[in-house]
Amino acid sequence: MTVHQLPVDDTPHPLRRAVVALVIVALIGLGLGQLLLSSRPAAIAPHGGYRVIVSPHAPLGQAACRHELRVLGGGSGAWLCAGSADRLWIHLSVKNVRDSNGYPVCTLTAYNQAGSALFDQDVFFPFGFPAGLELPRGTSLHMIWYLPQAKHDPSYVQHQHWTPSEITRYRATCHGRPESQVPV
């Protein structure tokens, strides 16, 4: 008895070929998309890996100031809240979108109604001493706090004469630093 072997058609089915091609094209597209996004960090977080929103805020009273400090993890802070009524207060929201260092350094600029810059100044975080605020990627901070007095703050840069009532908005930027760079 003779056994006849039937020819085997090992060519892929046209539908299977199309699905495999689509999967390959999709994976290449995802890879190129990731490459483009990683080369354009400003498109994701225009402020050095952090999304920042800052606005003027009315001064907090002593009890509210101490409560805010406790919520932020800074202890009772009676000395930090003493004399804070005459300071410029801000409402600051910072989200670490893509910075791997996790210790933000933030600078804000105050503007008047005409859009003219009045001054630049670093934001003081009243907790996390001495390393500073730790904000790991994906986490956020919302705080109401005051700016240091300009005459005692070396980061303060005045662009023009101003009064507190002239400030209509702020713009802030943050960048990260490693914990080992303790702020001075």
pLDDT tens digit sequence for 11-59: 566 676 766 666 565 556 554 444 333 333 333 445 578 999 999 999 9
Would 8 be classed as within a structural domain?
no
Full domain range(s) for residue 90: 47-177
Would 78 be classed as within a structural domain?
yes
What DSSP line would sit under 49-97, residue for residue? TEEEEEEEEPPPPHHHHHHHHHHHT----HHHHTT-TTSPEEEEEEEES
Would 4 be classed as within a structural domain?
no
Task: Assess whether 33 and 60 both reside in one domain.
Answer: no
Question: What pLDDT is attached to residue 111?
Answer: 97
Closest CA to 124 of 148, 100, 88: 148
Question: What pLDDT is attached to residue 116?
Answer: 97
Would 32 be classed as within a structural domain?
yes
Would 155 be classed as within a structural domain?
yes
CA distances from 75 to 65, 126, 183 (A): 11, 10, 20
Task: Assess whether 73 and 133 both reside in one domain.
Answer: yes
Phi, psi of 121 (to 5 degrees): -160, 145
Tell me, rounded to whole angstroms, the distance of Cα 131 from its chain centroid.
18
Task: Assess whether 80 and 152 both reside in one domain.
Answer: yes
Task: Assess whether 37 and 124 both reside in one domain.
Answer: no
Task: Assess whether 140 and 162 both reside in one domain.
Answer: yes
Task: Assess whether 125 and 39 both reside in one domain.
Answer: no
Would 6 be classed as within a structural domain?
no
Task: Assess whether 92 and 71 both reside in one domain.
Answer: yes
Q: Indicate the pTM of the whole model.
A: 0.68
Instruction: Please confirm whether the linkage preceding 130 is cis (ω < 30° from 0).
Output: yes
Task: Assess whether 118 and 144 both reside in one domain.
Answer: yes
Domain count of the chain? 2
Task: Assess whether 21 and 89 both reside in one domain.
Answer: no
Task: Assess whether 32 and 77 both reside in one domain.
Answer: no
Lowest mean pLDDT among 92-96, 140-144, 178-182: 178-182
Task: Assess whether 132 and 70 both reside in one domain.
Answer: yes
Would 1 be classed as within a structural domain?
no
Task: Assess whether 53 and 40 both reside in one domain.
Answer: no
| Per-residue confidence band for 76, with pLDDT thresholds at 50, 70 and 90 | low
Question: What pLDDT is attached to residue 32?
Answer: 45
